[in-house]
Amino acid sequence: MNADPRRLALALGHAFKREDLLEQGLTHRSAGAFNNERLEFLGDALIGFMIAEALWERFPEADEGTLSRMRASLVKRESLAGLARGLRLGDYLRLGAGELRTGGHARDSILADALEAVLGAVYLDAGFAVTQTVVMGLFAERLDDTSAAQSGKDPKTRLQEWLQSRKWPLPDYVVTEIGGDQHDQIFTVSCLLTDRNLCAFGTGSSRRRAEQSAAQAMLEQIEK
């Protein structure tokens, strides 16, 4: 790991009593048998339930299908990876040599899984209530930005509608980098609003996913 994981704990707002749990949460399977896969399983279930409960409370008129789409949008891989990047989680990961060479610390799948694992570690360290506080803090801004009307729309569609409503030109998406192995490539895409001199980047396992990630990053930039 390149950085002291206690800094990550500080960013999460939780001081671990068992630092070995945090270390395990940050250890990818490529680094050995002591890894985060089981914690990832636990964290995935916790996040899904906590976000479902938050949406159920916030949108009393939304039906099951709408709630499911909103939850899926909030907890999908790209969204979790975005939250992980906000925490600079990649700086703390323990990876095997192969993943280090291919930029695993920046890969959506690894970042999303590690975030789930770290939250699973928080749960084992401190229980449900503390974990819920951490999860709600992480997702607060995105929950505030969630609406039932937008629940079925992907980031590129929402960005296009946002720009068109203000009569701004549509963005350009450009592939800036392709990394990783041939069978496990990582695409980096820039989303450009040239007339506004704005640029945002996204990564994904395909060009389409990277474009969606870049569009989400641009939305977050312009909506602020």
Write out the chain in H/E/C secondary structure.
CCCCHHHHHHHHCCCCCCHHHHHHHCECHHHCCCCCHHHHHHHHHHHHHHHHHHHHHHCCCCCHHHHHHHHHHHHCHHHHHHHHHHCCHHHHCECCHHHHHCCHHHCHHHHHHHHHHHHHHHHHHHCHHHHHHHHHHHHHHHHHHCCHHHCCCCHHHHHHHHHHHCCCCCCEEEEEEEEEECCEEEEEEEEEEHHHCEEEEEEECCHHHHHHHHHHHHHHHHHC
The reply to whether 184 belongs to the active site is: no
Tell me: the pLDDT tens digits for 67-109? 888 899 899 988 899 999 999 999 999 999 888 888 888 888 9
Question: Which candidate, 44, 28, 45, 4, places its Cα nearest to that of 110?
Answer: 28
Q: Which residue is catalytic, options 44, 99, 108, 211?
A: 44
Q: Which residue is catalytic, options 78, 99, 108, 116?
A: 116
Report how far residue 161's alpha carbon sits from residue 95's, in angstroms, rounded to the nearest whole number: 40
**For residue 66, which phi and psi values (nearest 5 degrees)?**
-65, -45
Average pLDDT, the chain: 90
40 is in an annotated binding site: yes
99 is in an annotated binding site: no
pLDDT for the residue numbered 223: 77
Report how far residue 105's alpha carbon sits from residue 31's, in angstroms, rounded to the nearest whole number: 12
Q: What is the mean pLDDT of residues 208-215?
A: 91
Q: Where are the domains of the chain?
A: 5-147, 156-223
pLDDT for the residue numbered 144: 85
Q: What is the mean pLDDT of residues 166-185?
A: 88
Superfamily of domain 5-147: Ribonuclease III domain (1.10.1520.10)
pLDDT over 90 percentage in the chain: 59
116 is in an annotated binding site: yes
Look up the CATH architecture of domain 156-223.
2-Layer Sandwich (3.30)
Burial class from Cβ neighbours inside 10 Å (0-12, 13-18, 19+) for residue 27 reads buried
The reply to whether 172 belongs to the active site is: no
pLDDT for the residue numbered 98: 85
pLDDT for the residue numbered 149: 55
